[in-house]
Amino acid sequence: MIPDEDEKINFYSEDIEFILPNHSIIFDWINKTIESEAKVLRHLNYIFCSDPYLHKINVEYLNHDTFTDVITFPYAEGKTIEGDIFISIDRIKENAQSFEVEFENELHRVMIHGTLHLLGYLDKTAEDKTQMTQKENEYLSTLNGMKLDNQ
């Protein structure tokens, strides 16, 4: 069953209390990002969680015994986008401090990073990382414009 339009993107929290601020703007931003990459959104879940929760997933499913800020699980191929994006709020807080950026900015960067993985972008090589960062910056710019329009 294909979800209703307003249920194509969901925001959940697991093992922590977290509510995504400005979720309607974020919803529109993610939709526009996917459309601008000529893809079709079927269903997307963002799951906000703790470091231990995401670490367990990283070990269990990817065999990586490290902390990370985001793990993306794609469930479709080609032009269709469907997947789960797990994000550690603990990691976002720590990275925001380390990079001296606002929590919300780091959160949005990680959210779009996970989305870009579903759109086919990689970050294993230096060239891929450069392209990923450029795309992140491009779409973060779009989000900032959307936020200004809604003020």
pLDDT tens digit sequence for 57-98: 999 999 999 999 999 999 999 999 999 999 999 999 999 999
Task: Note the helical H segments in 7-122.
Answer: 23-36, 51-62, 89-99, 103-118
Question: How many degrees, rounded to 5, is the angle at CA 70 between CA 60 and CA 7?
Answer: 100
What gap in Å lies between CA 67 and CA 106, rounded to an integer?
Answer: 16
pTM: 0.93
Domains and their CATH numbers in the chain = 5-146 (3.40.390.30)
What pLDDT sits at residue 146?
87
pLDDT 10s digits, 10-48: 999 999 999 999 989 999 999 999 999 999 999 999 999
**CA atoms within 13 Å, Cβ hemisphere of 82:** 11
What gap in Å lies between CA 86 and CA 142, rounded to an integer?
Answer: 23
What gap in Å lies between CA 84 and CA 72, rounded to an integer?
Answer: 6
With cut-offs at 50, 70 and 90, classify the pLDDT of residue 6: low
